[in-house]
């Protein structure tokens, strides 16, 4: 029986971008997780990571305006 000569190419991670640090991990108290999830739902944001990004950006923007 002949061996297969088909080459399987490895794919990168979907959505991988070079403009961010993929290794950022944070731990939050439950009350903050709940507050983020409540804010996310009220603002119709799809996922917690996106909600956290938007909240961080808003906080940094508010600090710059002071």
The domain spans of the chain are 30-65
- Tokens standing for 11? 């794919």
- Tokens standing for 44? 């119709």
Which residue's entry shows tokens 């002949």? 2
Question: What would the pLDDT profile of 43-56 be if each residue is shown by its tens digit?
Answer: 999 999 999 999 99
- The model carries a pTM of 0.63
- pLDDT for residue 16: 57
Q: How many residues does the chain have?
A: 66
Residue 26 zone, left/alpha/beta (φ > 0; ψ -120 to 50; rest): beta
């Amino acid at each position: 029986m002949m061996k297969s000569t088909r080459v399987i190419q490895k794919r990168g991670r979907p959505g991988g971008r070079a403009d961010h640090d993929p290794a950022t991990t944070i731990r939050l108290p439950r009350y903050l997780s709940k507050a983020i999830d409540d804010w996310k739902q009220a603002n119709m944001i799809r996922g917690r990571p996106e909600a956290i990004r938007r909240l961080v950006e808003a906080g940094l923007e508010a600090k710059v305006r002071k």
